C-alpha cells in the first residue's frame, strides 16, 4: 500500500470536510424542502379550491332547500290563514241563520214558510203530489202548514229530515224532481252578501 502524505493539520482537514458535507446536505435538504413545499402548496390550493367549490355547492343546495321549505311553509300558512278566515266567516253567517227565526218572529216566519210551501206546490203541480222533507226544527210548524193550507196538490211530510237551518226540500213522489227550499238555499244571495259583510267586519 503506497503511503499517503497529508499536508496540514489532519484534524482540521477532517473538520472542513465534514462541514462541507454538512453544508451540501443542508443545501440538498433546503432544495428538497422547497420542492416539497411547492408540491404541498399546489396540492393545498387544489384541495382548497375543491373544498370551496363543494362548500359553495352545499351552500347553494342548502339555500335552495331553505327557499323551497320556506315557500312550502308560507303556502301552508296562507292556506291555514284562509281556512281560519273562512271558518270565522261561516261561523258568523251560521250564527245569523240560526237567529233568523227569532229575528223574524213566529208569525212572520210562519208566513215565510207558507209562501215557500205554496211555491213548491205550484212548481210540482204536474207531479200531482208533493213530499216534504223538513229541517227537523221546522217539522212541527210545517205539519200545521200542510194540514191547514189550501194547496193545488196533495202534500205530506216524509219521516226523514234534511240538514239545514230551516225550511224543507220538496220532492215529487218518484224523486225525479227535488226542490231545495231550505233557508240557506232560498236566501243564497243574501247569505253571500252576509259572508262578504262578515269578512269585511272581521278582517277589514
Q: Are strands 178-182 and 167-171 parallel, antiparallel or unpaired?
A: antiparallel
pLDDT at 173 (0 to 100): 93
Residue 100 CB contacts under 8 Å (≥ 6 apart), including other chains: 109, 165, 166, 183
| pLDDT value, residue 98 | 75
The CATH label, of 1.10.760.10, 3.90.1300.10, 1.20.1250.20, 3.30.2320.30, for the domain at 105-203 is 3.30.2320.30
Which of the four pLDDT bands, split at 50, 70 and 90, describes residue 197? confident
Quote the CA–CA distance of 144 and 46 in Å, as a whole number: 95
Q: Helix or strand or coil: residue 141?
A: helix
The CA dihedral of 71, 74, 76, 82, to the nearest 10 degrees, is: -140
Residues 6+ apart with CB under 8 A from 185: 167
Give the residue, 17 or 27, on which the prediction is more confident: 27
Residue 201 has pLDDT above 60, yes or no: yes
pTM higher than 0.85, yes or no? no
Q: What is the 3-state secondary structure (H, E, C) of 80-125?
A: HHHHHHHHHHHHHHHHHHHCHHHHHCHHHHHHHHHHHHHHHHHHCH
The set of residues, in sequence order, having a beta carbon less than 8 Å from that of 43 and lying 6+ positions away, is none
Q: How far, in Å, CA of 59 to CA of 53, rounded?
A: 10
Residue 111 has pLDDT above 70, yes or no: yes
pLDDT digits (tens, 9 = 90+) for 123-158: 999 999 999 999 999 999 999 999 998 899 999 999
The answer to whether 178 and 170 are in contact (CB under 8 A) is yes
Measured CA to CA, the distance from residue 191 to residue 193 in angstroms comes to 5
Amino acid at each position: 500500500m503506497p503511503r499517503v502524505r497529508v499536508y496540514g493539520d489532519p484534524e482540521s482537514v477532517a473538520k472542513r470536510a465534514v462541514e462541507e458535507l454538512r453544508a451540501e446536505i443542508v443545501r440538498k435538504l433546503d432544495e428538497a424542502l422547497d420542492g416539497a413545499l411547492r408540491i404541498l402548496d399546489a396540492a393545498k390550493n387544489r384541495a382548497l379550491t375543491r373544498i370551496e367549490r363543494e362548500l359553495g355547492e352545499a351552500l347553494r343546495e342548502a339555500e335552495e332547500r331553505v327557499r323551497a321549505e320556506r315557500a312550502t311553509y308560507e303556502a301552508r300558512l296562507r292556506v291555514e290563514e284562509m281556512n281560519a278566515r273562512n271558518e270565522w266567516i261561516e261561523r258568523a253567517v251560521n250564527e245569523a241563520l240560526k237567529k233568523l227565526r227569532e229575528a223574524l218572529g213566529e208569525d212572520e216566519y210562519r208566513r215565510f214558510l207558507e209562501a215557500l210551501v205554496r211555491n213548491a206546490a205550484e212548481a210540482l203541480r204536474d207531479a200531482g203530489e208533493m213530499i216534504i222533507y223538513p229541517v227537523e226544527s221546522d217539522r212541527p210548524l210545517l205539519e200545521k202548514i200542510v194540514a191547514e193550507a189550501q194547496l193545488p196538490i196533495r202534500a205530506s211530510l216524509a219521516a226523514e229530515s234534511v240538514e239545514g237551518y230551516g225550511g224543507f226540500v220538496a220532492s215529487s213522489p218518484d224523486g225525479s224532481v227535488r226542490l231545495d227550499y231550505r233557508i240557506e238555499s232560498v236566501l243564497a244571495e243574501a247569505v253571500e252578501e252576509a259572508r262578504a259583510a262578515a269578512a269585511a267586519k272581521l278582517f277589514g
